[in-house]
């Protein structure tokens, strides 16, 4: 028999058909099994094997149970596409439902319920009702799950035959898998009414049978028991004594389910609630030693949840949160975040040293996260600020662009507070060396800000700014130009003799030659103030308020502290991601008003990725636009993009430089996307790709443009962070109605990747 490929032609199908009808298939079970196995393999690869349906119908009468399993699997997969031919299998399936072998009965009943043909419900009725009372547990298991499948095809079937009450009675079945199947079926069938109802008798029965259940069954039962609230403390203690054995279960799923139930039972009992948290500390820490990074990350997220209830619970175990070389990036991110939250005065030196090591990680994003964490720790008070600022100053000596840039941003934040003014001379002494090291616009902007605010105490400050002004024509970042204007003006008021010439050169370039509207308007504003009244201009430009470090800036907001989020995906996704996922699930109607490719993505917390060619813009807060039916038709419509347009690279570059950023959208991807997939999705929206960086570059960038029927031009810079799976769109709009149309295009672009 010829070797089957993933894509078969008519000759291959004909050869398989001949093999199914050959004499060897009738006399040699092994031969037929091989043929059937190859058919199933091709089916799972996505090859259309439906043309063989009639031939498989003939084979389903076989007495070999292995062959039956393969044939029935094929039938279940293709019955919906061949409903007329699927009817031919009903007689065989009904006959097998009465077979003396319980394996065949259960297999036939499961297949019969899986045909997904509403017209066959009358044939399923008798086998299903008989299967629920079958002496074989295997058949009863299949029958219980069959109730759910029938309910999806014909909801009235369950009510007409009183199967809800029968399933409740079967919760006391002697087979534990039948019990768990019944619980799952009732949850599905009663979803509109809140799921299965757990009373005291049923709760005690399920608790006492935990030892007999499979690990999957234990997880499911423990989760179901969250619906039950004991009547008194004695009952709480009785249940906790039983489930305490499962808190340290070797299966992490069982352990987490038991921990969740323990917290649920004691959430209103403050006297023992703290003891419960101490009890579950050990199992959570044990998971940190797992070889599976997914389990480690899950444990870290749950530890963070518990830590908010008892802040000091994990403080002395801080070394368990040190980053390991084999940890993936997302685990290191969470560990660094936790280290910053659990720091105390006695652990300060060790944690600062660990974070300092992470600041030099090969991943620039991870290094930035560690530096930001040091900055947050320094805000906790003078005791914390001294070692953190010393560590940050040491990082400047490494002369690494991405490290120095983020350190300067941290100092820009820290030196704004009155309590940290004593460190200004130490920072200023190293700014001169940073001029040639820092290349990113984010780092340059921070360096210029520091020179503008504290340059009076640095002799070389005017000359550093002058070097930047000399090459301002080569600068593409409007953010840097804006900071340069402000810093030079501030320094001019304190050191006018040294700054007068370069101030005039900068204003002349910004007013006469710069194409960015925001830069030009700020330069004109400063020029007019200086011409009107220098003293008043100084009051305006140099006016500043020193913020106070308060608990408000250190308080975490929008956290998922509700117990319902414990041991669920909401803790793993985070608050913004999870709220967006829920929005997508509950607002399906609004989501479908704008067609989009079938790729899942959600919005999350904005990253600190730098856009060197754009000014700093506050990102969107991560909420999809809720389309209200009361809004006008234009706001709900999809923009009609024009296909036949051409923008040259020169036109694109000049227009991009001239326009200010309209919006920045950041999409964390649930599934990793390759650059070529992003390219395809962009073209599906009607966008044209001007240029891209090579696929191996990190981050990967693409420059895109589009135009609609109102002659509004949209320019987009797409940035893919493959390490964090974050897709960023920086949008600029040019047109008469750019304010309104820009929002519609941003929404349409966002939906295209949702």
Is residue 326 scored above 70 in pLDDT? yes
Residues 619 and 721 in one domain: yes
Q: Is 729 within 8 Å of 749 (Cβ atoms)?
A: yes
In a domain, 664, yes or no: yes
Pick the closest to residue 117 from 145, 90, 147 (CA basis). 90
Q: What is the mean pLDDT of residues 32-53?
A: 85
Report pLDDT for 585.
66
Which residues face 421 on adjacent strands? none
Mean pLDDT value across the chain: 81
Examine the fold and report which residue of 148, 170, 192 is the final residue of a domain before the chain moves on: 192
In a domain, 551, yes or no: yes
Q: Choose between 746 and 394: higher pLDDT.
A: 394
Residues 546 and 623 in one domain: no
In a domain, 742, yes or no: yes
Give the confidence band of 592 by pLDDT, cuts at 50, 70, 90: very low
* Residues 362-409 pLDDT 10s: 888 899 899 999 999 988 888 888 899 899 988 888 888 889 889 999
Residues 6+ apart with CB under 8 A from 119: 83, 87
Q: Which tokens in the block code for residue 737?
A: 């109605």
Residues 6+ apart with CB under 8 A from 65: 101, 103, 104, 107
Report pLDDT for 5.
39
Residues 539 and 661 in one domain: no
Cα distance between residue 635 and residue 628, in whole Å: 10
* Residues 646-679 pLDDT 10s: 888 888 888 888 888 888 887 777 677 888 888 8
In a domain, 523, yes or no: yes
Secondary structure E strands in 339-468: none
Give the confidence band of 179 by pLDDT, cuts at 50, 70, 90: very high
* Residues 462-491 pLDDT 10s: 888 888 888 888 888 888 899 899 988 888
Residues 604 and 738 in one domain: yes
- The owner of tokens 């000596």 is 397
Report pLDDT for 575.
67
Examine the fold and report which residue of 149, 172, 192 is the final residue of a domain before the chain moves on: 192
Residues 6+ apart with CB under 8 A from 302: 256, 259, 284, 566, 567, 571
Question: Quick one: DSSP state of residue 692?
Answer: E
**Counting Cβ atoms within 10 Å, is residue 743 exposed (0-12), middle (13-18) or buried (19+)?**
middle
Report pLDDT for 75.
85
Cα distance between residue 71 and residue 81, in whole Å: 16
Q: Is omega for the bond preceding 502 within 30 degrees of 0, making it cis? A: no
Residues 615 and 705 in one domain: yes
Phi, psi torsion values for 721, nearest 5 degrees: -95, 95
Phi, psi torsion values for 571, nearest 5 degrees: -70, -35
Residues 610 and 685 in one domain: yes
* Residues 506-515 pLDDT 10s: 898 889 888 8
Q: Which tokens in the block code for residue 282?
A: 């050990």
Give the confidence band of 336 by pLDDT, cuts at 50, 70, 90: very high
- Please report, for the domain that includes residue 155, its CATH number: 1.25.10.10
Give the confidence band of 307 by pLDDT, cuts at 50, 70, 90: confident
Report pLDDT for 371.
92
Query: How many domains, the chain?
Result: 3
Residues 597 and 448 in one domain: no
Examine the fold and report which residue of 144, 169, 192 is the final residue of a domain before the chain moves on: 192
Residues 502 and 610 in one domain: no
Domain that holds residue 186: 79-192
Residue 462, CB half-sphere, CA atoms under 13 Å: how many?
17
In a domain, 100, yes or no: yes
In a domain, 63, yes or no: no
In a domain, 326, yes or no: no
Which spans in 231-341 are helix H?
Answer: 233-247, 252-266, 270-287, 293-309, 329-341
Residues 623 and 495 in one domain: no
């Amino acid at each position: 028999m010829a070797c089957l490929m993933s894509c078969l032609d008519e000759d291959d199908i004909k050869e398989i058909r001949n093999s199914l009808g050959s004499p060897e298939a009738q006399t040699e079970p092994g031969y037929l099994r091989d043929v059937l196995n190859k058919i199933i393999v091709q089916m799972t690869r996505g090859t259309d094997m439906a043309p063989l349906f009639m031939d498989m119908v003939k084979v389903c009468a076989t007495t070999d149970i292995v062959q039956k399993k393969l044939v029935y699997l094929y039938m279940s997969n293709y019955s919906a596409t061949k409903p007329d031919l699927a009817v031919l299998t009903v007689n065989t399936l009904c006959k097998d439902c009465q077979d003396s072998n319980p394996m065949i009965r259960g297999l036939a009943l499961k297949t019969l319920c899986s045909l997904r043909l509403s017209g066959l419900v009358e044939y399923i009725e008798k086998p299903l009702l008989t299967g629920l009372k079958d002496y074989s547990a295997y058949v009863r298991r299949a029958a219980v799950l069959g109730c759910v499948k029938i309910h999806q095809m014909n909801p009235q079937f369950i009510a007409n035959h009183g199967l809800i009450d029968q399933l409740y009675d079967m919760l006391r079945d002697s087979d534990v898998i039948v019990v768990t199947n019944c619980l799952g079926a009732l949850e599905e069938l009663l979803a509109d009414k809140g799921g299965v109802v757990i009373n005291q008798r049923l709760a005690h029965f399920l608790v006492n049978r935990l030892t007999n259940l499979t690990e999957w069954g234990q997880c499911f039962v423990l989760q179901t028991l969250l619906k039950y609230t004991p009547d008194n403390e004695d009952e709480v203690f009785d249940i906790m004594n039983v489930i305490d054995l499962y808190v340290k279960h070797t299966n992490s799923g069982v352990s987490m389910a038991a921990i969740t139930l323990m917290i649920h039972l004691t959430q209103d009992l403050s006297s023992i609630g703290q003891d419960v948290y101490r009890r579950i500390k050990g199992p959570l820490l044990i998971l940190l030693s797992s070889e599976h990074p997914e389990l480690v990350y899950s444990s870290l997220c749950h530890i963070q949840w518990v830590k908010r209830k008892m802040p000091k619970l994990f403080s002395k175990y801080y070394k368990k949160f040190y980053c390991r070389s084999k940890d993936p990036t997302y685990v290191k991110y969470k560990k660094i975040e936790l280290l910053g939250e659990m720091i105390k005065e006695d652990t300060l030196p060790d944690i600062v040293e660990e974070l300092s090591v992470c600041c030099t990680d090969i991943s620039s994003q991870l290094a930035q996260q560690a530096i930001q964490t040091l900055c947050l720790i320094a805000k906790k008070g003078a005791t914390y600020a001294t070692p953190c600022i010393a560590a940050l100053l040491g990082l400047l000596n490494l002369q690494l662009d991405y490290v120095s840039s983020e350190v300067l941003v941290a100092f820009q934040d820290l030196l704004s507070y009155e309590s940290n003014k004593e460190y200004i001379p130490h920072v200023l002494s190293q700014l001169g060396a940073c001029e040639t090291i820092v290349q990113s616009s984010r780092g340059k902007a921070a360096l210029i800000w520091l020179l503008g605010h504290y340059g009076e105490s640095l002799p070389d400050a005017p000359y550093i700014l002058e070097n930047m002004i000399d090459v301002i024509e080569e600068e593409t970042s409007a953010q840097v130009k804006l900071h340069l204007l402000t810093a030079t003006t501030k320094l001019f008021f304190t050191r006018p003799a040294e700054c007068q010439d370069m101030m005039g050169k900068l204003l002349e370039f910004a007013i006469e030659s710069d194409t960015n509207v925001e830069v030009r308007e700020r330069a004109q504003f400063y020029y007019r103030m200086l011409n009107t009244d220098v003293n008043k201009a100084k009051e305006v430009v140099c006016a500043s308020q020193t913020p106070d470090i308060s608990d408000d800036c250190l308080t975490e907001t929008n956290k998922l502290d509700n117990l319902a989020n414990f041991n669920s995906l909401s803790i793993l996704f985070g608050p913004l991601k999870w709220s967006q996922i829920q929005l997508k699930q509950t607002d399906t109607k609004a989501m479908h008003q704008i067609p989009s490719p079938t790729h899942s993505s959600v919005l999350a917390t904005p990253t600190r990725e730098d856009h060197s060619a754009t000014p700093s813009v506050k990102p969107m807060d991560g909420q999809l636009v809720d389309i209200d039916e009361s809004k006008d038709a234009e706001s709900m419509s999809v923009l009609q993009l024009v296909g036949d347009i051409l923008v040259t690279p020169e036109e694109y570059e000049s227009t991009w430089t001239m326009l200010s950023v309209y919006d920045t959208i950041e999409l964390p991807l649930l599934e990793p996307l390759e650059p070529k997939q992003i390219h395809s999705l962009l073209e599906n929206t009607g966008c044209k790709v001007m240029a891209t960086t090579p696929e191996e570059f990190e981050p990967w960038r693409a420059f895109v443009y589009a135009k609609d029927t109102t002659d509004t031009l949209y320019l987009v810079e797409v940035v893919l962070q493959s390490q964090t799976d974050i897709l960023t769109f920086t949008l600029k709009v040019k047109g008469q109605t750019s304010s309104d149309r820009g929002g519609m295009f941003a929404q349409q672009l966002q939906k295209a990747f949702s």
